[in-house]
Structure 1
Amino acid sequence: MALLTLPGVYAPQDDTALLADALRNESLPPQATVLDVGTGSGALALVAASRGARVTAVDISRRAVWTARLNALVARTPVRVLRGDLTAPVAGRTFDLIVTNPPYVPSPSPARRGPARAWDAGRDGRLVLDRICREVPPLLRPGGVLLVVHSALSGIAPTLACMRAAGLAATVTERRYVTFGPVLRSRQSWLRDEGLLGPDGEKEELVVVRAERPH
């Protein structure tokens, strides 16, 4: 599906495609409820809705909310899109499946506004990932699944440890190596200085972590 993206909204890329593949591989109960945290263009929300799920999408960016609503309208697919910070707009609700493609790129400082807010995530890339580990698990129903995509540069082991500490059974289910895009190419020297990248590193490993709440 060709998606529209307003200026400043994260356009679907390799990480979106990897997470979409994992989403398609999930077994969903009838009338499943799905939450897309940080929806951006709404790409993942639309994949879930195309499978018959009842989908809620959240983003802190007004432009992302408008974009996701527009794409759902063009696709004639029902998706409820809310504006807010991570899970705040759905407090007190629970879901069968939660998907998220959060900001995860290590950066000298977190972006507080503009397009970079969709990818910059502090010096270790975990500014939002650690919040997801804390705030998302309580929103899963028994047997519910969380799918999160991020870069190995921001640490796979900490994500698995955080999910397991929250009582979830967590594993890496998808991996893909992709060539650095413009953002990481511009930070190669800094990433090496931080010890996050070897001297010959020019590819990024993307992973999908699947975490399930026991019945």
Structure 2
Amino acid sequence: MNHTAPVAPSGANRAADIATALLVDAENVIGPFRPRVSLVRARLTALLAAAGHVDHALVAFADTWPADDTVPSALAELGAIPWPVPEGPDAAETALAAHARYLAGRGRRWRFLVASADHRLAQVAEYGELHVLAWTDHPVSARLEAAATTIHRLPRTRTGDEHPVPTLPTAGSPNHPPDPVSHLAATRTTDRVIAAIATGAGIALTHRLLDHLLPHRRR
């Protein structure tokens, strides 16, 4: 079944408290190696707009995929967690499937919106309700289509002008409490940045003190 409308959960799903995760296979639906940042923003914006409310969005890609350091920043700015994985065969697909398995094991029911046409993500149906987001001209594998509840077709976005950035609920509001997975990822990222800055500052300070106190040891 094909749809172009936003993938809104049914009333029955809301009543059952099914959480929703958007899992994006970046190289498959955003762009191939080193895409322009404007293209990354435009295509993720289109996917988020189609998905509607999600509890969190995760974008997986090989660590060599981004054109530069601004790509992960753009993903985070739009509300998605950037997840670089070591380059290798099917690395992003494997990571997304593993994440779906992790979420399913947390004691909550999940509805997965998978943005990919790759057959390897059919296994996500084992962990929850599977919906697929794909461009209208993007062939979806027969295996993935058979595993999905629905296939939602979207017009392929080519520039940054087609879609405005969607207005999503603010994290922490009464209707949208912070998601523990995205909050944990953000916290760990912040901790790593602070630790790196502190380590660099400590090393520089130590060298300055040694130069001052022990000048005869410097050649």
Q: TM-score range by the shorter chain?
A: 0.3 to 0.5
Q: Which has the higher strand share?
A: 1
TM-score scaled by structure 2?
A: 0.40
Q: Is the helix fraction higher in 1 or 2?
A: 2
Q: Which protein has the larger Cα radius of gyration, Structure 1 or Structure 2?
A: 2
Larger relative contact order (Cα-Cα within 8 Å, sequence gap ≥ 6)? 2
